[in-house]
Amino acid sequence: MVNQQRNIGYETPTSSNVDPDTSKTAFLDRATLVSETQDGVRIIDEQEEENLSRSLGQRHIQMIALAGAIGTGLFLSLGGALQTGGPLGALLGYGIVGLVVCAVQFALGETSALFPVTGAFVRHADILVDPALGFAVGWNVVYGSYLGVPSEISAALVLIEFWTDKYPALWITLLIIITFLVGIIFVGVYGEVEFFFALIKILLVVGVIIMGLMIDLGGVPGQERIGFRYWKNPGPFVEYLVPGSLGRFLGFWAVMINAVYSFSGIESLSVAAAETKSPRQNIPKACHRVFARVSLFYIVSVFIVGLIVPSNDSALNDDSGTAAQSPFVIAATRAGIKAVPSIINAVVLTSAWSSSNQAMLAGTRILYGLALKDQAPKIFLRTTKWGIPYVCVLLQTAVACLAFLSLSNGALTVFYWLLDLTAAGTLVSWATILFNHIRLHQALQKQGIVRQELPWHHWWTPYSSRIGLVFCILFLFTGGFSVFIKGNWDTTSFISSYLDIPIVIVLYGGWKIFKRTKILPLELVPIRAALDEMNDKPEDPIPPPNGWKRLNILW
């Protein structure tokens, strides 16, 4: 019988009175089998419980998720979405992806509330599906996160070049050092830094939305009212790659593919669950609230951009990587509002820094979680006295030095090169989250446990997870569809769109063959053990807000 926490999911648990031949276990009552195989199972590993510090509060994790999702995709990429899909195509594309994000967030919230472990969905795959899947997805996320730090530092260098192109090596060094310090110091410091960044981004989003409305409605002196003029001419949709209705559909589909990466980072909300106060209460709340806020910001922003900039505007061809390519900057410049470019560039710079911090958190915590399950060297379990896995941080900082490649190859080129290597990782992570959730509900049904016993649940999530999984798979396999259009073949785009698929398959198959792992039968998923652990160690209830705190709509 499996009775040690690190062995959850590594092999099919069996008790002394259960013959491996399933035909001989028919005489056993299912409830008895589940009870015996889950006896002694520990969901939260003793090491993560003792060595990591629970220092992230509700406001931290909610604002961390907001900071991760509101970044360069919102400020710089909306112009490309408008140019590809038109104002209505862009709005529909972001709206549909927003619904997929909703499915992912609620699935992550329900699963993380029951299994609040370091590494989140990577460890969930190990517990609910197959340790080989946890290994494959975990190392895929680690690889993406480790490359994410130098790519974001390269992006930050591009943004700095908006003002000056002097001392690039100094800027890279400073950014690496600052990212390292945020990653190695008490995790509460990271939470406060990301909280501050998120507030700045939210203020800017609100500001550019108000500015966009003023420009559209003729509130800027000397500027006439625009209204829905650009929805009529050049029109609500754009023909992309091919003419006619098919071209308009392809434009809309391309917007959805690109929108996925604008929302990337939102899945890392619970990777530090073991470092979060009252995670069974705070993580679901964050998943619920962050989805609504992020989706609202994106959809309103896309709508406003479609009003103030025409989809055929030549200024949208700017691919400098600075604020100059932002449609908000394009509209503000033409309206004579001169301060906007530098303000947006400054906030996007904080976004790049914030994204590198988040990649550091995700990469180090998931690598730590892999080491807990013997899927990475034990040296990565070493922590500082204040609960930081410092070996993981040191390794990721060393990889961050790849950002110095930008000194010889051009910062923007290196940024896109590194980013392309991790392009499909977001969809792999989302699909894993949704599949984990589906397996959770299948196991509940198999074991006769009602959803009401879960610490957080919704009646519709089993259906939304299935629909969301279908969309994620569609997005994953059509991510590079443009290269299959006649005359548009591009080897680099093909590799960047589909590289992650064979990587995950090879990692999964290799670990499965090497360790001879098995897909965990639904009746042996340790749900009862998790519920018992939750009931044995109840969290202190979070007091309801009072006074002025009741007016707070952000966290």
* Predicted confidence (pLDDT) at residue 552 exceeds the cutoff of 80: no
Question: How deeply is 224 buried, as exposed, middle or buried, from its count of CB atoms within 10 A (0-12, 13-18, 19+)?
Answer: exposed
Q: pTM of the entire structure?
A: 0.88
pLDDT over 90, % of the chain: 41
Mean pLDDT of 301-309: 93
Does a cis peptide bond (omega within 30 degrees of 0) precede residue 234?
Answer: yes
The mean per-residue pLDDT over the stretch 421-444 comes to 91
The rounded mean pLDDT for the chain is 83
Mean pLDDT confidence for 16-21: 42
| pLDDT at 40 exceeding the cut of 60 | no
Tens-place pLDDT, residues 500-545: 899 899 999 999 999 999 999 999 999 999 999 888 888 878 777 7
Higher pLDDT, 94 or 283: 94
Q: Is the dihedral of CA 73, 77, 81, 87 positive or negative?
A: positive
d(CA 107, CA 426): 15
pLDDT for residue 57: 76
Please state, in angstroms and rounded to a whole number, the distance separating the CA atoms of residues 362 and 212: 35
Q: Quick one: angle between helices 131-160 and 425-447, nearest 10?
A: 150
Cα distance between residue 269 and residue 427, in whole Å: 16
> Where do we find the tokens 């994790």?
61
Distance (Å, whole) CA 180 – CA 177 = 5
Task: Answer yes or no: is pLDDT of 437 > 60.
Answer: yes
Which among 532, 477, 529 has a CA at the least distance from the CA of 502? Answer: 477
Q: What are phi and psi of 276, to 5 degrees?
A: -110, 135
pLDDT tens per residue across span 167-215: 889 999 999 999 999 889 877 788 888 888 888 888 888 898 999 999 9
| pLDDT greater than 70 at residue 318 | yes
Domains and CATH numbers, the chain: 5-51+58-477+494-540 (1.20.1740.10)
- Cβ neighbours for 487, distance < 8 A, ≥ 6 positions apart: none
Q: How far apart are CA 538 and CA 199, in angstroms?
A: 32
**pLDDT band at 236; cut points 50, 70, 90:** very high
Q: What's the whole-number mean pLDDT along residues 478-503? A: 88
The confidence score (pLDDT) of residue 392 equals 94
Distant-in-sequence, close-in-space partners of 414: CB < 8 Å, separation ≥ 6: 150, 151, 154, 403, 405, 406
Q: Report the alpha-carbon distance of residue 323 to residue 75 in Å, rounded.
A: 8
pLDDT at site 285? 81
Which tens digits make up the pLDDT trace of 373-401?
999 999 999 998 888 899 999 999 999 99
**Is the pLDDT confidence value at 30 over 50?**
no
